Structure formats: C-alpha cells, structure tokens
Amino acid sequence: MSDRQKIIAPSLLAADYGALREDTLRAVQSGADWIHVDIMDGHFVPNISYGAELVKAIRPHTDLFLDSHLMCSKPEILIESFAKAGTDGITIHAELGESAHDTLRDIRALGLRAGVAINPPSDISIVEPFLSEIDLLLVMTVNPGFGGQSFIQEMLEKVRTVRDWRTSRDFNYIIQVDGGVGMQNCSLCAQAGADCFVSGTALFGQHDMTKAILEMRNQVNFVS
Ligand code: DX5
Ligand code: ZN
C-alpha cells in the first residue's frame, strides 16, 4: 500500500457562486485538505470562471493549501497576481509547450509549488520534459472547461505511467486527478497511483459534505 499522504481537494468550480465564502468555509469545515481553484480564460478552454480576486477573497478564511489550476493560454501574465493573492500552488498545462518551462521556473521563483497538467487527448509523453521541474502532475480525467462531466476511465493508464516514472526515475511529484472524480472511481484512481483527488460535483453536491469527504478518504486510504 502506498504510504504517501492522500489529499482530498474540493473544487470551487462546483460551489454555490452566490455564496462562495460560505461554501469555501463549508469545504474547510468538512475536512478538506486542499481547496482547488479552477481558473478558466475562455480561450484555452471554452468557459470563463474567475481570477486571482477569488483567491484573494478566500485566503483570509482558511490556512488550507490553495491549489490554482490555470486553464489559460497565457499563464505567464497571471502567476504574479495569483502569488500576491495568496495561492500556494499553480498548475499550468503541458499543452502550452516550450513556454511552460519558463513559467514553471517563475512559479517556483515566487515560492509556490509548480504543477503541470495534461488533457485527455494529449499523449502522456508531452509531460516528460517537465518532470524534473514540477512538484505536482495533474492527469485530467475530463476535458477541461466544465464541472459535472463523466470520468474518463482510460486516463487511469496515464496515472499508472506517471506513477511508474516517479518511482523508476526517482521523482517525488504529487499525482493529482481532476474531473468526474467521485465515490465510484476514487479508489480506482488511488490504486493507479493518484495521491490528490480533485472533486467538485461529488462533494459540493452532497448535503453532508463531511460524510462525503470522509467516505472518499476511507476509500482512497484503504487500497492495496
Ligand atoms: C474541469 C474542472 C473540473 C473540476 C471538477 O475543467 O477542472 O474537473 O475541477 O469538477 P467535477 O468534480 O464536478 O468534475
Ligand atoms: Zn481543475
């Protein structure tokens, strides 16, 4: 059994936008480990969400790790504002290509954890050039842009691959899954090697979020 800490990260994308502060506090008080903040620019993905101002607004209300996932075509112009707003980590997409190397370096230079993400249609090889420059590797299990989509089971093979690379090449990045993650698939993700479970609909959609987080935690902690 993996002895790595398992991290439950509710995604604010599924929160009540009319009560974001209250819903953030609900996630915190329900036992979340991290808060996942999905940033969408309407260009890299066909949707717009929110910017650094949201991170600034929730920062005073929790000490939890704020995990900003930038689904943006030009993250390099945004990272400083997210650092100032109080995020703890920033993840950008490997699909950005060569420019991602400089941006990952700049994220770390700001004292933040740097992550790289990969979309379902992309071949896992596109993340290889970044493995020595990251603290987190996000395997998207839906096509980015919207919450509430169905989990793409085929992405588990990518999770196994990056887990094997981490072991065989002596890396230590956190493996994160994001998209359609819920009670019916979180243990499969953990068995494949995931350490961090981003979940929006499956957690915020529950009246008793404490019970939902506890159930997810039990499922992912007790896999062989
Ligand atoms: C997709 C988003 C979502 C979100 C989680 O771009 O990244 O995956 O975090 O949403 P659910 O858990 O509702 O799929
Ligand atoms: Zn995300």
List pLDDT tens digits, range 16-64: 999 999 999 999 999 999 999 999 999 999 999 999 999 999 999 999 9
- For the CA of 12, the nearest ligand: 1
Chain length of the chain: 224
Count of beta carbons in the 10 Å neighbourhood of residue 108: 15
Q: Are 202 and 185 in contact (CB under 8 A)?
A: no
Is 195 designated active site?
no
In this prediction, residues 105-134 reach a mean pLDDT of 98
Alpha helices of the chain — where are they, by DSSP H?
20-29, 52-58, 79-85, 99-109, 156-168, 186-192, 201-204, 209-221
- The letter for the amino acid at 87 is T
Is 38 designated active site?
yes
- Give yes or no for residue 182 CB within 6 A of ligand 1: no
Question: Which of 13, 43, 136, 181 has most ligand 1 atoms within 8 Å of CB, for mutation?
Answer: 13
The pLDDT, as a whole number, for residue 222 is 83
If we measure between CA atoms, which residue out of 222, 127, 209, 141 comes closest to residue 179? 141
Rounded to 5°, the CA angle 48-8-199 comes to 35
In this prediction, residues 182-191 reach a mean pLDDT of 98
Q: How far apart, in whole angstroms, are the C-alpha atoms of residue 176 and residue 195?
A: 6
**What is the number of the ligand 1 atom nearest to the C-alpha of 148?**
13
DSSP state of 149: P
- Give yes or no for residue 147 CB within 6 A of ligand 1: yes
Q: Are 178 and 140 in contact (CB under 8 A)?
A: yes
Check whether 164 has a pLDDT greater than 50.
yes
Residue 165 — left, alpha, or beta (φ > 0 → left; ψ -120 to 50 → alpha)? alpha
Question: Which of 118, 198, 203 has most ligand 1 atoms within 8 Å of CB, for mutation?
Answer: 198
The pLDDT, as a whole number, for residue 1 is 47
Q: What's the pLDDT band for 198 if we cut at 50, 70, 90?
A: very high
Task: Express as a percent the part of the chain with pLDDT over 90.
Answer: 97
Check whether 224 has a pLDDT greater than 70.
no
**What is the number of the ligand 1 atom nearest to the C-alpha of 45?**
6
155: Cα within 13 Å, side-chain hemisphere: 27
Q: How far apart, in whole angstroms, are the C-alpha atoms of residue 110 and residue 32?
A: 25
In this prediction, residues 179-198 reach a mean pLDDT of 98
Q: How far apart, in whole angstroms, are the C-alpha atoms of residue 198 and residue 37?
A: 10
Is the domain 7-221 a CATH 2.70.98.50 member?
no
- For the CA of 199, the nearest ligand: 1
pTM summary value: 0.97
The pLDDT, as a whole number, for residue 30 is 98
Task: Express as a percent the part of the chain with pLDDT over 70.
Answer: 99
In this prediction, residues 152-170 reach a mean pLDDT of 98
| Integer CA distances (angstroms), 17 to 65, 76, 173, in order | 20, 27, 32
